[in-house]
Amino acid sequence: MKKTIQITQPEYTKLMYIMTYRKPTIILATIAGAIMMVACIMYLAGAGFITPGRPPYIQIFLAVVALVFLPITIYTSSVKSYKASQRIQEPIEYNFTHDKLTITGSTFKGEREWGKTYKILELKNYFLIYENNMVFNLIVKTAMSPAEVSELREILRNVTIAGTKHLFSS
């Protein structure tokens, strides 16, 4: 199966948010930030459980970090990363076969046997084919027809990675 996909900056940014907010520490930090924001609002309303007369500076600071600074940081770093990498921006042709993946862009060409692939992960709108625990190839499902998504899913379910057949869904 051959498919050419070009990743846009908004798609890339959305994926970076998804990948960041899947981490348990980020989820806990966001929940803690929300709780602290509620505590600050309750303090300002006079019905809080924070000691009256002691403004909740620490809680305000932590809430702002978790609920404002973290999302802004993710956004700015994803935009910067997207703009810095020509490979992400160019149209990429993927050729999926049962024994290997060939990736061709205007500035590169690569071939990878499935047995040397680290992991394949399927998310709601993406397939991620990991080369190692940090680097992955991104296939956007919205750039494909439902029949193409089904065909690719079937290919990825039947490839052998490190001696086992895996397509991780999430």
Does residue 118 sit within a domain?
A: yes
Does some domain include residue 152? yes
Rounded Cα–Cα distance for residues 102 and 164 (Å) = 21
* 69 and 106 assigned to the same domain: no
Same domain, 81 and 116: no
Nearest to 5 by CA among 110, 134, 104: 104
DSSP symbol at 67:
I
The boundaries of the domain holding residue 135 are: 90-169
d(CA 81, CA 29): 24
In a domain, 41, yes or no: yes
Q: Do 36 and 94 fall within a single domain? A: no
Instruction: With a cut of 90, say whether residue 42 has pLDDT above it.
Output: no
Number of domains in the chain: 2
Based on the fold, state whether residues 117 and 154 are members of the same structural domain.
yes
Shared domain for 62 and 77, answered yes or no, is yes
Same domain, 94 and 165: yes
Q: Which residues contact 88 (CB under 8 A, 6 or more apart)?
A: 7, 12, 81, 82, 138
Stretch (H or E) spanning 3: strand 2-5
Structure confidence by residue, pLDDT tens digits, 60-114: 899 999 999 999 999 999 999 999 988 889 999 999 988 899 999 998 899 988 8
**Pair (100, 82) in one structural domain:** no
Give the lowest-confidence range in 14-18, 89-93, 110-114, 163-167: 163-167
Q: What pTM was computed for the model?
A: 0.81
Same domain, 70 and 104: no
102 and 68 in one domain? no
Q: Do 65 and 78 fall within a single domain? A: yes
Query: Which of the listed residues 52, 86, 120 is the one where a domain comes to its end?
Result: 86
Is 65 within 8 Å of 33 (Cβ atoms)? Answer: yes
Residues 56 and 107 in one domain: no
Do residues 80 and 94 share a domain?
Answer: no
Give the confidence band of 48 by pLDDT, cuts at 50, 70, 90. low
Specify if 144 maps to a domain: yes
